[in-house]
Chains A and B, each alone.
Chain A
Amino acid sequence: MVTKTVDFSARAVEALHNARLRGSFRDAMDDLIRKRLDHFRDETLFRELSGEGAAIRARALSRLPELLEQLERKLVSNGITVHWAEDAAQANETVLKIIRAHDSRRVIKGKSMVTEEIGLNDFLETRNVEVLESDLGEYILQLLDERPSHIVMPAIHKTKAQIAELFARKFPEIPYTEDVDTLTATARRVLRDAFRSTRIGISGVNFMVAETGTLCLVENEGNGRMCTTIPDVHIAVTGIEKVVEKLADVPPLLALLTRSATGQPITTYFNMISSPRREGEKDGPKEVHLVLVDNGRSDIFANPDFQETLRCIRCGACINHCPVYTRIGGHSYGTTYPGPIGTVFAPLQDGLKERGELLSASTLCNACTEVCPVRIPLAGLINRLRAEYAAPRGNVKDAGSGRSWKEAMAWKLWSAVYARPRLYQRLLNWGLKHRDRLPRELAPWSDSRAMPVIAEKSLHQLVREKSEADQ
């Protein structure tokens, strides 16, 4: 599903050298940043709103097990079937079982990052179930056999020309065009046929309301509504952390989500599903299933150092504002969630051995932390994870796996010097005296920068001389 991170740096470098890709990510992120800012120019207002968002999510997490039970009770009494899955394999099997129970060989999907995370599409395809993505971006990627590079705008790395060329290849009956309206109309036609004839729809969920047993979906296209309205069966797949206490918690989160994600005051559709088709109703799925996926979340929950990661509402703002993401794009990360949230989530979920390398891809500049609508201290968490990576403290899977003998020695030496003021000064003075003999080049620093110029005298010396002169 997701590529291993071993080659993160190699992929990042490759992406860096792709000028077109870099330019288009930059433009896209700048645009999203501007649109978001239009709503949050007033910093005090943003502080208030994000405080409210964080409080709602924190309150929900503080009662997570009971809320999940309440949610389940409500959903069941509303007629929705609830399934629990401890990991990706269980989740996939659960979905497959529902599909098989309806003798179906085809599903149509709305956007869902959790199904991306558990690799549902590949799993179903190998079991002879055809999967059709219906979000326009996801649909394009599926035709290309590619993965999303952004959690909100999956096909953001593709140009109009590339998509035009793809459509011309896949739909030879339609003349080549780069006109977005025409391309969109083509997709509409193909996908409408599919919505009409497919019996099982799969979607993600943005929020689940324990109080009323309601599943909320946020979208612009209407494919989410199609997937949850037209087929006979709707299967919603989501993470256990998405629950909130009550309906009144929804409006502030919704406002934060859409403004942070795309700079919209609201999306075109906000779809709240509380039950399957009821007696007498003439449409809507006859069955609704919710698959609650753990897949490492309960372990993150049990780790007090990282629990707040689960407040995330997947708005993508941290990604849009990340100067590293902007330059290397989403695919370099090799994770379901790229950017800062992925840099925290992936090592916690998959372990540091597999994902630890990602931790170096941050300057800890806090651009992410600043915009997170639920106040997750992303840079602080990346820093904490680096500590877990370097030292076997044991709270995170594979803690200590990033410790290299060389690096550890270097820091030991460093601290041996800097923790001894006199030794430090003696070495410093020696260095200053021999500053002409210090190396002129030290890769990789000097590959793109001149070496800094060592001063003649240290501040320590200058201050000493000054106070002697003053006396």
Chain B
Amino acid sequence: MREKPTQVLLFGSCLIDVLYPQAGMDAIALLEREGIEVVFPQAQTCCGQPAFNAGYRDEARKVARVQLDCLQGDAPVVVPSASCAAMMKHHYVELFRDQPEAEAAAQLAARIVEFTEFLVDVLRIRLQDQGPDIRVAVHSSCSARREMNVAVQIESLLEQLAQVELVHQDHKAECCGFGGTFAVKQAEISAAMVADKTAALLRCEIDRYITQDCGCMMNIDGALASQQAPLRGTHIATFLMERTGGNEDS
């Protein structure tokens, strides 16, 4: 697994598909630049996490089965979204407990690698910063930090970039308040949490915040936009492409 493979599958996630496709494209471009063949199974849809976290496991399973199907094989599955990675790596086992697909789920779980983890721990990527001076903070999602244990990787990538100054917001490790249906069912608590998160980021006086999870980005950017604050998030894949000169046209 930690050996550099020649081929990987990419699972893009439903949010990237509809809101942040460029993050997916940048992830693919970066991997290809490192000499990896990237296969994107067109039958993929969603990992099933939204329904799973809402308690609707039958529905989640139905959707998850499609991913079990289209992500077959032995190649690692790279996921540029930590919460989907955590769903497939850790929760499929529970979701398919006592199901005929239990074994397939375990097999897939073992092949899941979060995107920054893949860059750092598998590819041992070396980056050359070609961008101007910039000040950023990182928002690692709760899944990245506490389920995938990859909060270190994203920062170590940024530390390779000479002109990037990384600052740390307070309560950095705290949840942004998204939590899927939580944002709807406990809207006011969620709003209070994201307000604290945006305030902490804004106090840092940064140009951008970087994240490996699009759910948090949708939440935080949405709050920033409604406060008419100019700050926005950038997915780590896009940021890395931008800084290392691979993304001239964007």
Residues of A participating in the B interface, judged by any CB pair closer than 8 Å: 9, 12-13, 16, 22, 323-324, 327-328, 359-367, 369-370, 380, 383-391, 402, 407-408, 411-412, 414-415, 418-421, 424-425, 428, 431-432, 444-455, 457-464, 466
Among B178, B181, B194, contact of A360 (Cβ-Cβ < 8 Å) = B181
One digit per residue, 1 when the CB lies within 8 angstroms of any chain A CB and 0 when it does not, for chain B 187-203 equals 11111111100000000
B179:A363 contact, CB within 8 angstroms: yes
Is there a chain A Cβ closer than 8 Å to B70's Cβ?
yes
Contacts of B18 in A (CB 8 A): 428, 431-432, 454-455, 458
Contacts of B221 in A (CB 8 A): 450, 452
Is there a chain A Cβ closer than 8 Å to B146's Cβ?
yes
B51:A411 contact, CB within 8 angstroms: yes
A448:B194 contact, CB within 8 angstroms: yes
9 tightest Cβ-Cβ pairs between the two chains A and B: A363-B179, A449-B222, A386-B55, A444-B187, A390-B55, A450-B225, A365-B175, A415-B59, A448-B191
Among A327, A388, A412, A418, contact of B193 (Cβ-Cβ < 8 Å) = A327
Contacts of B192 in A (CB 8 A): 16, 22, 327
B55:A449 contact, CB within 8 angstroms: no
Q: Given A365-B175, A445-B187, A445-B222, answer yes or no on A419-B65 (Cβ-Cβ < 8 Å).
A: yes
- What are 28 sample pairs from A and B whose C-beta atoms fall under 8 A apart? A22-B192, A324-B193, A327-B193, A328-B189, A360-B181, A360-B186, A361-B189, A364-B182, A367-B173, A383-B53, A383-B55, A383-B91, A390-B57, A415-B62, A419-B45, A420-B66, A445-B183, A445-B184, A445-B222, A446-B226, A449-B191, A449-B223, A449-B225, A450-B225, A453-B19, A459-B16, A460-B17, A462-B24
Listed residue (A362, A384, A460) with the most chain B CB atoms within 10 angstroms of its CB:
A460
| Interface range on chain B (Cβ under 8 Å from partner) | 35 or more
Among B19, B45, B185, B188, contact of A452 (Cβ-Cβ < 8 Å) = B19
Q: Give the residues from 183 to 236 in chain B that come closer than 8 angstroms, CB to CB, to chain A.
A: 183-195, 218-219, 221-223, 225-226
Q: Add 14 more A-B contacts to A363-B177, A363-B182, A385-B55 (CB < 8 A).
A: A9-B188, A359-B55, A360-B186, A363-B142, A367-B142, A383-B91, A407-B54, A418-B45, A418-B46, A432-B18, A444-B183, A444-B184, A459-B17, A459-B40
Residue of B nearest to A15 (CB): B189
Is there a chain A Cβ closer than 8 Å to B52's Cβ?
yes
Contacts of A402 in B (CB 8 A): 55
Residue of B nearest to A453 (CB): B19
Residue of B nearest to A390 (CB): B55
Q: What is the CA–CA distance of A12 and B174 in the complex, to the nearest angstrom?
A: 19
Residue of A nearest to B59 (CB): A415
Q: Given A415-B63, A449-B226, answer yes or no on A466-B25 (Cβ-Cβ < 8 Å).
A: yes
Residue of B nearest to A327 (CB): B192
Is there a chain A Cβ closer than 8 Å to B50's Cβ?
yes
Q: Give the residues from 1 to 31 in chain B that come closer than 8 angstroms, CB to CB, to chain A.
A: 12, 14, 16-22, 24-25, 28
What's the minimum C-beta distance from B49 to chain A, rounded to whole angstroms? 10
Q: Given A428-B17, A432-B18, answer yes or no on A389-B55 (Cβ-Cβ < 8 Å).
A: yes
What's the minimum C-beta distance from A380 to chain B, rounded to whole angstroms? 7
A454:B146 contact, CB within 8 angstroms: no
Q: Give the residues from 142 to 179 in chain B that come closer than 8 angstroms, CB to CB, to chain A.
A: 142-143, 146-147, 173-175, 177-179
Q: What is the CA–CA distance of A408 and B51 in the complex, to the nearest angstrom?
A: 10
Q: What is the CA–CA distance of A425 and B41 in the complex, to the nearest angstrom?
A: 13
Contacts of B143 in A (CB 8 A): 366
B175:A363 contact, CB within 8 angstroms: yes
Q: What is the CA–CA distance of A420 and B16 in the complex, to the nearest angstrom?
A: 18
B175:A323 contact, CB within 8 angstroms: yes
Contacts of B45 in A (CB 8 A): 418-419, 421, 424
Contacts of A362 in B (CB 8 A): 179, 182
Residue of A nearest to B50 (CB): A414
Contacts of B181 in A (CB 8 A): 360
A421:B219 contact, CB within 8 angstroms: no
Is there a chain A Cβ closer than 8 Å to B42's Cβ?
yes
B21:A459 contact, CB within 8 angstroms: yes
What's the minimum C-beta distance from B86 to chain A, rounded to whole angstroms? 9
